[in-house]
């Protein structure tokens, strides 16, 4: 899943970026409000982590402009402003969650995961597709009784396919939700990682789970 961090305090920005990438997310990041608005308007982020005190344009103004334009990304406000009035203002302007600094990274990660489940109408933190099981909290994956070890990028791709299980997902959709804005990857990287996933997930004697729909993309689930 693809996230945007708009946070001007460099140590926090770097720490969040590192932690979220290690958790398997594609992360774009900026420390400027104007640039953050540009990123958010031009890309389909699953979650935007938005500081309020920013150079250029403040976070509340970014929030108002995004919602006025109908942008549907879930927005988690991250700020030192902790009064009841501040929280109510942010939520009433269209924020989906509000986390006050200082905070524990584990809590932020849990809130991001909850927003992602809401995005894809997935209340259960465990997804089951045929005999494939994915624990969204621990990021562990099993096929039958066998646990499958995935890299963060492989897991991110599988999670996105699982969130949209039985839907045909285009290569463009996968690229926009799994890879970062400044990614130097080649245009066939989606197909390459689908190949990596197939090698790890598909097992002899068991039905295929990852299917190619010629000219349209891929879907995860039983054959139609």
- d(Cα 139, Cα 136) in Å, to the nearest integer? 5
Contact 215, 172 (CB under 8 A): no
- d(Cα 97, Cα 220) in Å, to the nearest integer? 30
Q: pTM for the whole thing? A: 0.79
pLDDT in 10s for each residue of the chain, 224 residues: 899 999 999 999 999 999 999 888 889 999 999 999 999 999 889 999 999 989 989 999 999 999 999 998 999 999 887 788 888 888 899 999 999 989 999 999 999 999 988 878 777 888 999 999 999 888 899 998 999 999 988 998 999 999 898 889 998 888 888 777 666 555 578 888 899 999 999 887 788 899 999 889 999 986 54
Token couple for 217: 């993309």
Token couple for 172: 């463009």
Token couple for 104: 């524990």
- d(Cα 156, Cα 154) in Å, to the nearest integer? 5
* Cis peptide, bond prior to residue 191, ω within 30 of zero: no
Domains and CATH numbers, the chain: 2-119 (3.40.50.2300), 126-220 (1.10.10.10)
């Amino acid at each position: 899943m693809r996230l945007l961090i708009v946070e001007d305090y460099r140590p926090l920005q770097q720490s969040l970026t590192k932690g979220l990438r290690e958790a398997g997310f594609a992360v774009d990041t900026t420390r400027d409000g104007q640039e953050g608005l540009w990123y958010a308007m031009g890309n389909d982020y699953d979650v935007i982590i938005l500081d309020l005190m920013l150079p250029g344009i403040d976070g509340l103004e970014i929030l108002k402009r995004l919602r006025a334009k109908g942008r549907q990304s879930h927005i988690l406000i991250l700020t030192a402003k902790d009064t009841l009035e501040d929280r109510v203002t942010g939520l009433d302007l269209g924020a989906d969650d509000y986390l006050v600094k200082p905070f524990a990274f584990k809590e932020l990660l849990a809130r991001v995961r909850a927003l992602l489940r809401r995005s894809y109408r997935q209340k259960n933190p465990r997804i089951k597709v045929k005999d494939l099981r994915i624990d969204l909290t621990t990021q562990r994956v099993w096929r039958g009784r066998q646990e499958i070890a995935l890299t963060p990028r492989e897991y991110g791709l599988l999670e996105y396919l699982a969130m949209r299980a039985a839907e045909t997902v285009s290569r463009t959709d996968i690229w926009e939700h799994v890879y970062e804005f400044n990614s130097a990857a080649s245009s066939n990287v989606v197909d390459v990682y689908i190949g990596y996933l197939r090698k790890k997930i598909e097992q002899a004697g068991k039905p295929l789970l990852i299917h190619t729909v010629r000219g349209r993309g891929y879907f995860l689930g039983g054959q139609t």
